Each structure stands twice: as C-alpha cells, then as structure tokens.
C-alpha cells in the first residue's frame, strides 16, 4: 500500500457533487492499494500514519504527531498512486488492486486508523467521484510505502 500523507491546516472532500466532509488541522491521507498487498499490513500502516512526527514542537522542529496535537485525518482512496509511467505518456494502473482486495484493505486501514487516537477520521467514498480540497501546511508531504517494509524476496 501507499499512503501519501500531507500535513494540512484544513481539508475537505465533496462526494459525487453532494456530500461534503471536512477536517481542520491534521492529516490528509491518499491511500492506494497494490494487487499484492495484504490486510495484515493495514495495522502497521495506520500506526505509522497516526504516529508520524510531522508537526512542529515548541522549538519549531518536526517532532509531534497528529495524535499528540489532537488533530484529525481525512482519508481518500487513490488507485492512481500505482500509476506506472515507464512506457509512453499514459499511465498504466495494472498493479493497482481491484475489488474486493482494494475495498477490503481501504476499509481495514480505516478501522485501524480510527483506533490510533486521532480526534476523528473522515473519509471519501471508495470509487466515487470526489473533489478534494487540501490546504497543505508547510508544505509537508510524506510517502509511506509498505513495499519498503518487506524483507528480501
């Protein structure tokens, strides 16, 4: 899985042009699932996400997590994080997971993230048309990739 984590002053998502969900300060997580991912990865990824020390401490150093600050998270599914651009100009999404794995991993990640002590976890809607507004603070953007945690094959 890939989680593109952004520190934000505020963010929102409008789902299918109707429903709006929003957060104040916290994290926006764009989550992509790969065809070889497993549900067992979701807990560690959620822990890592919520515990990322990407907020300033009293000395202005990135040393505080969203949990420490009492902040929220907004999570949006994003299969395009697995766009392969090695050939040509049109990305291939062949390695992005398809349902049911993609949905199961997204939902398990959300379940695990909600247990990490964030003030709240808002979400987009899997597979929906979404308009995301992100006010990246800093900007600070971190890519977490579970492939980096795997041992040698």
Catalytic residues: 78-80
Q: What is the DSSP annotation of 68-116? A: HHT-EEEEEE-GGGG-B-SSSSSPB-TTB--TTHHHHHHHHHHHHHTTS
What is the helix (H) or strand (E) element at residue 67, kind and residue range? helix 66-69
Give the N- to C-terminal CA distance of the chain in Å, as an integer.
Answer: 17
Tell me the helices (H) and strands (E) count for the chain, helix number first.
3, 8
Do 85 and 41 contact (CB within 8 A), yes or no?
no
| DSSP tag of 150 | S
Instruction: Give the whole-angstrom CA distance, residue 126 versus residue 133.
Output: 17
């Amino acid at each position: 899985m890939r989680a593109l984590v952004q520190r934000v002053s505020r963010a929102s998502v409008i789902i299918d042009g109707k429903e709006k969900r929003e957060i104040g300060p916290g994290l926006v997580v764009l989550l992509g699932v790969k065809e070889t991912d497993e549900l067992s990865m979701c807990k560690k990824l959620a822990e890592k996400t919520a515990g990322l020390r990407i907020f300033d401490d009293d000395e202005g150093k990135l040393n505080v997590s969203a949990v420490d600050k009492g902040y929220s998270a907004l999570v949006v599914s994003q299969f395009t994080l697995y766009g392969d651009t090695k050939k040509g100009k049109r990305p291939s999404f062949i390695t992005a997971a398809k349902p049911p794995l993609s949905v199961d991993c997204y939902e398990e990640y959300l379940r695990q993230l909600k247990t990490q002590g964030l003030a709240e976890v808002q979400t987009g809607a899997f597979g929906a048309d979404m308009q995301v507004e992100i006010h990246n603070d800093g900007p600070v953007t971190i890519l977490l990739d579970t492939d980096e945690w795997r041992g040698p094959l």
